[in-house]
Every structure is written in C-alpha cells, then in structure tokens.
Structure 1
Amino acid sequence: MALIHIDTPTTDGRTLRTTVRPSSDLARFFTGNPLEVTYDVDLESVPDSLLVVPALAQVCPVAWAAGADVYVDTVDATFVSALEDVQAAMLEMYDFLEGSDLYAREVVDTRVSSDDSDDENAESGLLFTGGVDSTCSYVRHREEEPTLISIRGWTITPNRSADEQWGHLVDRVTGFAADRGLETAFVEANMLSFLDHPMLLAHYKRYVDGGWYSSVGHGLGLLGLCAPLAAARDIEDLYMAATHWEGIDLEWGSRPDIDDNVRWAKTQCHHDAYDLTRQERLDVLAAYAESDAPDLELQTCNDRMDGNCGVCEKCYRTAVGLRLAGLEPTEHGYPFADDDYHDLRRGLEGGRWILGQDERYMWEDIRDRVHETEPRSPPERAFFAWLESADLSEIIDNSGSPLRHRVLRAGARNAPDPVYTTLYPAWSIAKASYQRLLTRR
C-alpha cells in the first residue's frame, strides 16, 4: 500500500526540519533528505500543528499523483480543510492525479497570537521577487504596507554555488523595502532536493507543460512554506501574484482555485491580480512610475539576478511590454535598443529558448496591445508587423527540451526500483544539466 509518513517537525532556533518516510514503492520520488526550511524569525512559539504545514504542502501533490495516503501526528484543522479544497481543484485540473487521504492523530484548532488582536491591525505579506507580477501586487496593496517575503529554493537553489545570486536578490528586495518603509522576510528551503524532482518529471512530464514544481507544486508549496513565518509575524493576509489571468485555462501550479483555498489558523492566502493581463500589470507599473517611482527597476531575467541580461526571452518580452506601456526599458533595468528587435525575432523563429504555452499567451497579450500602438521606429514597426502574422503555436512547438532529456525521462520512468537505485548516481550527474527545465516558470 502506497503511503507517506511525515514525522513531527523539529526546530533549532530559526531552522525547521521534517523527516518524511515513504513506502518503498514511492521512495524514488524522495531523495532521503529531510525538508529543511530556515526563517529569519525564531520558531519557538510556533505550534507543531503549523510547523508541519511546509512539509505537507510539498508532499501532498506527490501523494495525490501516486494515490498515497499521508500520515501526520498533529495538524491544523483549517489547513486540513484547505488541503481538501486544493486537492479537489487539482484533481479537476489534472486527470493523472489519483487523490488520497490525510490521516492525523490530532487535528487541532490552532491559536496564534493574532487571535486576540484587532483585525484593523492585521498584518499582510506578499511573496516578492521584484518582477512584473509581484511588483504590481505590491502597488495594488501598498496601503497595507505588506511584509515582502522572498523564498530561496526554487529559481534560486540553496546550493553554495547560488549564494551570490541569492545575495543579489536579498540586496535588491531590502533596498526596495527600505525606500518604502516596509518589513522584509527571507526564507530558505531545500524543496527541490527534498523531493526528487527529476524523477517526478520523468514520470509526469508527459502530463504537464514545464517542471513539476511550476506545473503542479508551487502555489501550495511556496505558500505552505510561509505558515510558520505567518504565525510568528501575525500575518493574516498572504498574497501571491498571479502569473496568468482570466481567460487562460492552463494547467499550472498557482491559480485562483488553488491559492485562494490555501489557509491555516487565521491566515488566508490570495491569488492576486488575476483580473489583469501581464500587459495591464505593466500599465499599473507605468502609472506608479509616473506618480511615485520614476526610478523603478524590475528584475525578471532568467539568467542573472544582479540585473537583467537583456538577451533572454523574458528580458526581451518585458522590454517590449515596457515600451508598449509607454516606458523606456533602459530607464527601468533593461538594456534594449531598436536593433534588438531583429535578434528577438530571430531567437523566437529559431527556437533559441525553451517556451511553454504560458509564453504563447504572453506574446498574444503583447500582440493584442500592438494593434493599439503606433510603432516608434522602423525596426519596431517591422517586428510588430511580423508578430501580428506569426504563428505563435508553431514557435512554441519548435522549442522544448533536448532529445537527451526525453530519453533520460523515459529510462528513469520505466526502470524498476532496484535498477533505478543502482543507476541513481548516473541519473544524478545527468540531472544537473536538466535543472534549468525543472525551475522554469
């Protein structure tokens, strides 16, 4: 029988550790490492019923995929109800998910310090990277003065090799917050090395567009990591910026029917700005830059954290969107000139980047705005004319993971457990080059 036991979490000052014990048939989906999460607040006052939430948030989607029941000692009653709602939403979204049950020795109505506070003084938090979506959510909720929460573990891994990238993000978010009198919170977690994401993708890539965490796990997973932090800081409203918008029915790990259902104790999570397209979010930022922040800089690059490279697909896409919103990209963090339109078109047509259906919708959103915009220059006019007639579906189909990755997935998926265990070192070496796909969003 497939099952997963989650042991009672332990804390050491600001670090949370949770050991997970899967049945043998599910062992391939776990690396054997405990889930470790480090916060910048002391966890002593956080009850066990909330300390288990980060592990449950990572494990449950795997359990639902495998039809494995999950066992814990103590858990918050509100979060149990939330998991039922999130599971229902995910089962409706994905046919390959089987669903499962959660069993707990004790389900408790958790009380936190904010239970006795005035709702008018409730704190809020916002998952924040400094990109288009999270910055737009800040602008929309700036009257609440939300705590800006940045999480290391997905796009920036906890590996020592990524320390410099994380340092750049911390400096940038700290500076943004200081300029606006905001609090910050930084969370570091090993969820990509706690679960065996290459193996999960080997089994389930055929059902998802992108990585396991982006397509299935990141809405519940990232919000769940914040439960101990929210309890320690009395955060009652927690916002996660939308990637997509109304009218896009993509299978994606963060959607209103997922994020809006995540809750624990007195904290309610919110999927924010789903009513705005990405271009409309850039319009919000353009108005904010004009009224309050003329030197506003965004960070969206897929390749760097100390600024924007200007030559990856996301940098190009953001720069074009900024121009369509009436801003000059070079004034907001993007080295972009008219000559870059030619390179952008060549990259899209030539399959230079791994793109998914979400990028297709974003370029369609840009194309819709092009209809309403007068080009500034001949190169811009030529690119807009090409974009209006381009077959974006064909561009997406021409991109994708290299053949060697597809072969690795098939081999790992079909290997019996003893064979997989024997071959695991080779798989571990191969997956290093595979990591880029796993963290793409």
Structure 2
Amino acid sequence: MTAITIDRLTVDDTTLECDVRTSPELERFFTNQPFRTDYDVSIEDVPDGILVIPVLAQVCPVAWANGADVYVDEVDATFARALEDVQETLCGMYDFLEGGTLYARRTIDPEPEAGGESGLLFTGGVDSTCSYVRHREESPTLVSIRGWTITPDSADDEDWRHLTDRVSGFAAERGLETAFVESNMLSFLDHPMLLAHYKRHVDGAWYSSVGHGLGLLGLCAPMAYARGMDDLYVAATHWEGIDLEWGSRPDIDDNVRWTGTQCHHDSYELTRQERLDAIADYVESDAPGLDLQTCNVRMDGNCGRCEKCYRTAVGLRLSGLEPSEHGYPFSDRDYERIRAALEGGEWVLGQDERYMWEDIRGRARETNPTSPAERAFFEWLEEADLEDLVSESGPPLTHRLLRAGARNAPNSVYNALYPAWTTAKAGLRLVRSDR
C-alpha cells in the first residue's frame, strides 16, 4: 500500500515540527528533514487538528501524484472537506494526478475565539499590492513567507532581511500588523526530484504549477487561528480568460478553509494591467512615493533589466506612472533592449508571460505613445508572434538531461548521487510569481 503517515506533531511556543513516514516508493520525494515551521506568534493553544494543516498542505499533492493515502491522528473537519475539494480541482487539471484518501483517527470542530481580523499574503509586488489597495479598509495583517522563493538556507538570510524590512516599512506607514512565517516546506520535500519527475507535465516548477496555492495558505493555518483571522487573501497571478494549469486559482484557493478562516483568491477579475491601474489610482490619491518590488534577480530593489522588471516598467508607463519614480530604472532606450531580449530568447518564458505581454499589447492599442522609441516598440509588439517567442525560450539541455536521469534512477542510485543533484538544483528552480 502506497501511503504517507504524519507522525510526532510537537509545538514549542512559536515552532511547529513533525515527522513524516512514507512507503518505500515515495521515499525519493522526501529528504530526511522533519517538517518545521516558525511563526511570530505563540501557537501553543492551537488544536492539533489545526496544527497538522501546514504539513498536510505540502504532502497531499505529492500523495495525489502517486495515488497514495495519507494517515494522521487528528485533523480539523473543515480542512478535511477542503482537501477533497482541492483534490478534485487538481486532479481535474492534471491527468498525472491520481488522487488519494485522507484517513484520520479523529476529526475535530474546534471553537475559535472571536475573530474579525483578516490577512493578506504580501511581498510588495504588483498582485499583492493591488490586493492591499482593494482591501485596505480592512487593515489586513501582511503575511510574508520564507521557504519558497526565499529559502531557509543561510545564503538567503540577506534576501529575507530585505523582504521583512520592506514589508515592515510598508506596514508601519499604514498602521498595519505583520506576520512572518519561516518554513522548510521545500527542503523537507525533495523538490528537485519532484521537478525531475513531473516537470514534463507542467509549465513551471512543481510548487508553482501544483502546490503553492494550497501549500502557502495551509502554512498559515496555526497563525491565522491564533490571531483570529476570519479571512485570508492570496493575490491572483492570472485572470479570467487565462486557462492555464497553475497551482493557485480560484477553484483551488477559494476552497481552502479551516475552522475560523476562509481563504480567498483575490483580484482574479482584473488583468495585470488593470491591477496596475488600481495601484496608479492609489498612488495618485494616497501614496505618491510607493515603490513596487517584482525583480527576479534582487530583493533589495529592482535590477531594472530582467524580464519581470521590464514588463512591470512598461505596464507602469501604460497606467500613467513613471517607472523611475516607483522603483524601476527605466528610459526610452530600454525599449530596444526589451525587443532584443524577447527576439533573442534571452529569457525563459512560459505561457503566463505570453498572456501578460498580450495584456500589455492590448492596452498599448488604446494608448498614445509618449516618444518615438515607445511608438516603435508598440508597433513591433503589435506584430510580434508571442507564442513563437515563448516556444523559442526554455531551460538548458543539461537541466533536461539531469531531470530525466533522476526520474529514472533507482532509489539506491539516486541516494548515492543526491549530493551532485542538489548542487544542480539552483539551476532547476524555476519560479514565476508577481505576488
């Protein structure tokens, strides 16, 4: 029987830890680390059925990919039903997911204390900033998570400090609370091995394409319960009309819930350009000095030269803002640079980037260019075959060969080669999110 068992759940003030046992055929998808998450609020009084949600949110998609069942002593009954709904969505989206059953010795329906609070997953990017603008009357707690794009490794300490400083500053200026969560959810899972096995089925990486909606929201459950959060928002990456296989969508995130908290996939009805419009209105009325942070390269500002920086800068221009006043070094000379990079396949692009450049192209048709350089770029973009530009980009051949080798290796061979595989994993970690 293929199975995953959640063992030894322990809490020490703000730290949650537990062990996971698997049947032999699933061992390659897990490292030898216990699952661990650190919060900045005590979770001592949170029921075990809520405390188990973070680890279930990480392991259940792995179980579903292998037709495995999951065993746990106690689980919140509301979350157990949520998992059934999320499983139905994911299995309907991906043919390679087989599904599985959660078995619990006990289900609980705890009585949370009076809530009234809300939370928002926040990085300071376009999507999460737009969600803040839309829900600012609620004064949501800004929730930032370390463990996905910023890993728990000491090498990422400086990036995490930059993010927490930026979010804390944003919150302080607006009288908001913050919540910082640190987890080893992707080093507890063997993410490179998941990527090796399933990259051929998905557009991005395992976590971005399959796991991050359920995973990130579920990670917040003990904190949300302890803080009395009735609502927890996660900003949409895509929008209505984009039918992409992606791990965070309304039919995933809106189904995630546990006793006391309902999660929400926010701003799905707005395109990325319309979200920038909402931010532009907020800049004009309340925040003339607002900076955004979307860079794929740096966390201490925007490099101004990666695809996401350029895409955001062009979008800001189209929304009537000057990029250089909001965190992006940008001038008319950069339009030719963007065109050359897109035509030359310099950036690894997916279908979501294609839709985002199409969104920009649609807005450009309605906008009068401000310079000859801008006019020339928009005329080129109008005629560009964006599908072809996406197909010309892709990961290096060496990465594809590494994935194939790891996917087909027996466990004994894989375990012997694991140090070399993890050395290469930085090049295999493909993450795309503007949140």
The TM-score range, normalised by the shorter chain, is over 0.9
Corresponding letter in the other structure for 1:150: S
1:315 alignment partner, SS class:
helix
Q: 1:352 aligns with which of 346, 353, 359?
A: 346
Match of 1:254 in 2: 248
1:422 aligned onto 2:416:
yes
Match of 1:206 in 2: 200
Match of 2:336 in 1: 342
Within 5 Å, give how 1:71-220 maps onto structure 2.
71-114=71-114, 122-220=116-214
Q: CA contact under 8 A between 1:261 and 1:269: conserved in structure 2?
A: yes
1:98 alignment partner, SS class:
coil
Corresponding letter in the other structure for 1:13: D
Q: CA contact under 8 A between 1:8 and 1:52: conserved in structure 2?
A: no
Within 2, Cα distance between the matches of 1:266 and 1:434? 38
CA shift, 1:268, in A, is 0.1
- CA offset digits 1:240-279 (Å, max 9, x no partner): 0000000000000000000000000010000000000000
Q: CA contact under 8 A between 1:8 and 1:73: conserved in structure 2?
A: no
Within 2, Cα distance between the matches of 1:323 and 1:36? 43
2:427 alignment partner, SS class:
coil
CA shift, 1:440, in A, is 3.5
CA shift, 1:32, in A, is 1.6
- CA offset digits 1:339-365 (Å, max 9, x no partner): 001111111111111111000000000
1:52 aligned onto 2:52:
yes
Corresponding letter in the other structure for 2:201: Y
Match of 1:396 in 2: 390
1:66 aligned onto 2:82:
no
CA shift, 1:432, in A, is 3.3
Within 2, Cα distance between the matches of 1:110 and 1:211? 36
Match of 1:362 in 2: 356
Match of 1:269 in 2: 263
CA shift, 1:434, in A, is 2.2
Match of 2:299 in 1: 305
Match of 1:440 in 2: 432
Unaligned runs of 5+ in 2: none
1:205 alignment partner, SS class:
helix
Alpha-carbon RMSD: 0.9
Match of 2:24 in 1: 24
CA shift, 1:232, in A, is 0.8
Q: CA contact under 8 A between 1:8 and 1:72: conserved in structure 2?
A: no
CA shift, 1:430, in A, is 2.2
Within 2, Cα distance between the matches of 1:137 and 1:391? 32
Corresponding letter in the other structure for 2:218: G
Within 1, Cα distance between the matches of 2:104 and 2:282? 47
Corresponding letter in the other structure for 1:33: Q
Unaligned runs of 5+ in 1: none
Query: Could you list the runs of 4 or more consecutive aligned residues of structure 1 that deviate by over 4 angstroms after TM superposition?
Result: none
1:292 aligned onto 2:264:
no
CA shift, 1:428, in A, is 1.9
Match of 2:5 in 1: 5
Q: CA contact under 8 A between 1:148 and 1:182: conserved in structure 2?
A: yes
> What number of residue pairs does the alignment pair up?
433
- CA offset digits 1:278-316 (Å, max 9, x no partner): 000000000000011111110000111111000000000
Within 2, Cα distance between the matches of 1:142 and 1:133? 14
Corresponding letter in the other structure for 2:224: A
CA shift, 1:417, in A, is 1.6
Q: 1:222 aligns with which of 216, 220, 225?
A: 216
Q: 2:325 aligns with which of 314, 324, 331?
A: 331
- CA offset digits 1:161-218 (Å, max 9, x no partner): 1111111111110111111110000001111101111101111111100110000000
Q: Given the two structures, how large is their TM-score scaled by the length of structure 1?
A: 0.97
CA shift, 1:425, in A, is 2.1
- CA offset digits 1:8-34 (Å, max 9, x no partner): 421112111121111110000001211
Q: Given the two structures, how large is their TM-score scaled by the length of structure 2?
A: 0.98
Within 2, Cα distance between the matches of 1:272 and 1:427? 37
CA shift, 1:422, in A, is 2.0
1:410 aligned onto 2:410:
no
Corresponding letter in the other structure for 2:311: R
CA shift, 1:7, in A, is 1.1
Within 2, Cα distance between the matches of 1:389 and 1:432? 35
1:299 alignment partner, SS class:
coil
- CA offset digits 1:350-406 (Å, max 9, x no partner): 111111100000000000001001111111111101100001011111111100000
Within 1, Cα distance between the matches of 2:153 and 2:193? 19
Within 2, Cα distance between the matches of 1:390 and 1:428? 38
Match of 2:374 in 1: 380
1:281 aligned onto 2:271:
no
- CA offset digits 1:33-52 (Å, max 9, x no partner): 11111100011111111110
Corresponding letter in the other structure for 1:343: R
Corresponding letter in the other structure for 1:5: T
Within 1, Cα distance between the matches of 2:392 and 2:318? 27
